[in-house]
Structure formats: C-alpha cells, structure tokens
Amino acid sequence: MKGKKKFAILPLLMFLAIAAWKYFSADTWTNPETGEEIKIGLSEDQEEALGVQSYREVLAESQVLTRGPEVDLVRRVVQRLIPATGDGGDDFEWEVNVVQNDQVNAFCLPGGKIVVYTGILPVAGDEAGLATVIGHEMAHATMRHGAQRLFQNDIYNTVMQGAQASMADMDPASREKVIGLLGAGAKFGVLLPFSRDHETEADQIGLLYMARAGYDPEASVAFWQRMAEQGGGQGPEFASTHPSHGTRIDNLRKFIPEARKQMP
C-alpha cells in the first residue's frame, strides 16, 4: 500500500461536467455601466435579503449615531451619490448609518445598505474624500461583486470536490499535498485576480459616481494617498484584497479624465 498513488479519473470528469453545467446554466446579469454579460450565483432578491440581514446584524452590535455633524455629512454625500448610480442602483433601497467606531472602515451591502465608521472620517478629510470611499463601496454593491464571487466559488468548490473524489484511494499525505497545490493554484491564479479586478472596477465606477454627483474625481488621488499614509494594513474592506496603493493611484489617474466628463 505504501506510496501507492491511485488516481481515478472518472469522479473528476463527473464533477467537471457538473461544473460545466453550472457554468453554462448560470444566471447572467448585464452590467449597466459596461454592457458586459456577467455570470452570477445569486438572484437580486436573494442578494438583497442577505444584505439586509447582515446590515441588521452589524447595526445591532454597533453604536449607531442618530444625529450630529458626522451623520449629516455622511447622509449628504450619500444623497448626492444615489442618483449617480443610475440603473445599477435603481432597485436598491438605499440606507446609510454611521457607527461610532475608530476602525478606518466603510462598506455597502447588496441592496444598498451602507455603513460608515467614524474612524474613516478623518482619513476621508472632506466631502469629496468621503465620496471616494462611499462611491467605491456603492460600486461593489451595484456591480454585484458578491454574487459574482459566489458563482466563482461555487465552480471552484465543485472542481475541488471532483479532485478530492478522484483521489479518494490515494494515500492521505500525497492527497493532501495535491489538494493544497490545486487550492493555492486556484486561489492565486483565479480567485485573487478576480477580486483584484473587482477592486479596480469599484474604483473606476466609484469615480463615475462621484463625478456625476458633482465631486471632482481628482480628489480620489489625495484620498488614497492619505490611506497609504495610514499604513493601509488593517481595517477597510478595500484594503483586504490589496492592490498596492501605488498601482491603484496609477489606475485612478488613467481613468480620471474620462470620469471628469460626467461631471455636471
């Protein structure tokens, strides 16, 4: 038995067939900004229900501010950004809350539920800086990045199940090694690049939103520079997939002239 490597191809083929079926039968959605047809793993209703649920959970365990200058500022920026989302945010029931918390963080859940932590306000600096962050977060929701990621993960998990089933008779040590390699390959070769693309898209669409709302997209550069000075490590959702700040700022600069054309 020792060292014997039995790999059965059939289970893998079966799971690949399931993955292919899932891929080709997946729901698609037309990106309202780019016209691109995109595969998604959740319906808009399902996505929104999940968004509302997480929103309530976050608010229930947070210190929510109901009034004050911070609340006024955040609400003002959001009110200006909402119409700028156009078709992407048409069916959303937008809502925003400010949470008293030193974390440099903000996010927008599917369906348009926004949470802004007071810790990000000094980094945002002014209204245009805040519009940079919130526009970026709104774009993740309107571009349905969560539903896209779910679809990708589903395909990935199906293929991995197939690989595992094919290696059921292999000795556990080599099986673990192969699964580890496959997992790392998929993570760095497929899933991470996808999330980096999502970051770039959120940056670009966020610029459009802020421009349409009347904020100069040029302000996004100064905002990301302040974020870089923060150390860029912990906290914000948008640091989690880490395009380097330099790369991000270069990309923004390329897109700013185009976005500026949409200023009122």
Residues annotated as catalytic are 137
Please give the size of the binding site for Zn ion, defined by CB under 5 A.
3
Task: Give the x/- contact pattern for Zn ion in 165-204, rule: CB under 5 A.
Answer: ----------------------------------x--x--
Please identify, using beta-carbon distances, which residue of 162 and 206 lies nearer to Zn ion. 206
Distance of closest approach, residue 189 Cβ to Zn ion, in angstroms: 21
Residue type, 212: R
Distance of closest approach, residue 14 Cβ to Zn ion, in angstroms: 37
Please identify, using beta-carbon distances, which residue of 48 and 199 lies nearer to Zn ion. 199
Distance of closest approach, residue 146 Cβ to Zn ion, in angstroms: 11
- Of residues 197 through 226, those in contact with Zn ion by CB under 5 A are 199, 202
Segment near Zn ion (CB under 5 A), from 31-39, 119-127, 179-187, 231-239? Answer: 231-239
Helices first, then strands: H and E counts in the chain:
10, 6
Nearest residue by C-beta to Zn ion?
A: 238
Render the burial of 156-167: b for 16+ CB within 10 Å, e for the rest.
bebbbbbbbebb
Burial of 171 (0-12, 13-18, 19+ CB in 10 A): middle
Contact 243, 200 (CB under 8 A): yes
Distance of closest approach, residue 226 Cβ to Zn ion, in angstroms: 16
> Which residues partner with 106 through β-bridges?
116
Closest CA to 142 of 94, 97, 74, 78: 94
Distance of closest approach, residue 102 Cβ to Zn ion, in angstroms: 20
Closest CA to 140 of 117, 116, 109: 109
Segment near Zn ion (CB under 5 A), from 126-134, 159-167, 206-214, 230-238? Answer: 230-238
Interaction between residue 29 and Zn ion (CB under 5 A): no
Q: By three-state DSSP, how is residue 244 classified?
A: coil
Please identify, using beta-carbon distances, which residue of 138 and 170 lies nearer to Zn ion. 138
Please identify, using beta-carbon distances, which residue of 19 and 131 lies nearer to Zn ion. 131
Q: What is the dihedral of CA 156, 162, 167, 168, to 10 degrees?
A: 120
| Residues 145, 196: Cα–Cα separation, whole Å | 11
Segment near Zn ion (CB under 5 A), from 18-26, 34-42, 92-100, 236-244? Answer: 236-244
Residue with tokens 């192969």, as numbered in its chain: 178
Residue of the chain from 29, 107, 117, 238 that contacts Zn ion (CB under 5 A) = 238
Please identify, using beta-carbon distances, which residue of 47 and 199 lies nearer to Zn ion. 199
Give how far Cα 136 sits from Cα of 17, 143, 168, 198, 204, Å.
37, 10, 44, 10, 8
Please give the residue ranges that form the binding site for Zn ion (CB under 5 A).
Answer: 199, 202, 238
